[in-house]
Amino acid sequence: MLLKRKGVIARRSKRQRWQWTMCHGRRALGRSGFFSTRMSAEESEENPLRVKPFWRVFILVCGIVATTSMQYSSENQSGPKPGGMKSAAKAAALPQIWKSATTGKEYRVQIDGDRLTAEWSNIPPQAAKQGAYIRSECRRSGTRWVGTSRILLPCPLPDGKTKMCPMQLRFEVDFISSDRITGGAEILRDFDCGSCEVRKTGWGPFSWAPKR
């Protein structure tokens, strides 16, 4: 009888502990927003993998939330590629040498981020010996590239000699594709070679195509 009573007491004691845990767990939910996950020592020792249905749901929800959080964090770390990378890829695909349809001059064009440069490449040997150059540099401004051209060109004098004259003129690009570059540039209308003075300028369009 004593053994039977001890068994009953033990079972009651176990049930009471379980009821106490669940009761205090519910109270904890009201206070802190989550259930206490403590199990009795006897339950965990008898079957460590045994989880009651409610805890299965709770663990499943936690697992889903954790997985979603990890995926979101991974996506944020990889992140969308900056637009600059796309522009760089486009710039890398552009031909390097372009020929002007109006003057026949050839230019080496490079794009680096929001910076565009164009340099005269087929300079006649005699002018090259004298240090002639045309170097244009632009910065992106909205849909256009706006900048200036620094120029050093030989200018013929009345006595048959030439004088190297430096100047700086406006230069803009309004369209770029793999087969065409168009824009406009300041052009000379009146220029004094003796003093290298720019007296009057105009505006002229240009169109470049890749050198074939």
Fold of 84-210: Lipocalin (2.40.128)
Give per-residue pLDDT as tens, 153-163. Answer: 999 999 989 99
| Dist. CA 62–CA 201, nearest whole Å | 73
Give per-residue pLDDT as tens, 42-85. Answer: 333 333 344 444 444 444 444 554 454 455 444 444 444 444 33
User: 């519910």: which residue's tokens?
Assistant: 26
- Contact (CB, 8 A) for 156 and 147: no
Q: Where are the beta strands (DSSP E) in the chain?
A: 97-100, 106-112, 115-120, 133-141, 144-156, 162-176, 181-192, 197-210
Average pLDDT, the chain: 74
* 137 backbone dihedrals φ, ψ, rounded to 5°: -140, 130
Rg of the chain taking only CA atoms, in angstroms: 40
State the pLDDT confidence band at 98, using cuts at 50, 70 and 90: very high
Q: Which of 69, 127, 100, 86 is nearest to 185 (CA)?
A: 100
| pLDDT mean over 15-43 | 42
Q: Which of 125, 127, 86, 133 is nearest to 108 (CA)?
A: 133
- Contact (CB, 8 A) for 108 and 119: yes
Q: What's the confidence (pLDDT) of residue 93?
A: 80
Domain ranges of the chain: 2-78, 84-210
Please check the confidence at residue 119 and state whether its pLDDT lies above 90: yes
- Contact (CB, 8 A) for 127 and 153: yes
Q: What's the confidence (pLDDT) of residue 91?
A: 58
Q: What percent of the chain has pLDDT over 90?
A: 54
Would you say the C-alpha torsion 194, 195, 199, 202 has a positive or negative sign?
positive
SS3 121: coil
| Dist. CA 174–CA 116, nearest whole Å | 12
CA distances to 70, 89, 157, 187 from 162, in Å: 72, 44, 5, 20
Q: Return the bridge partners of 6, or none.
A: none
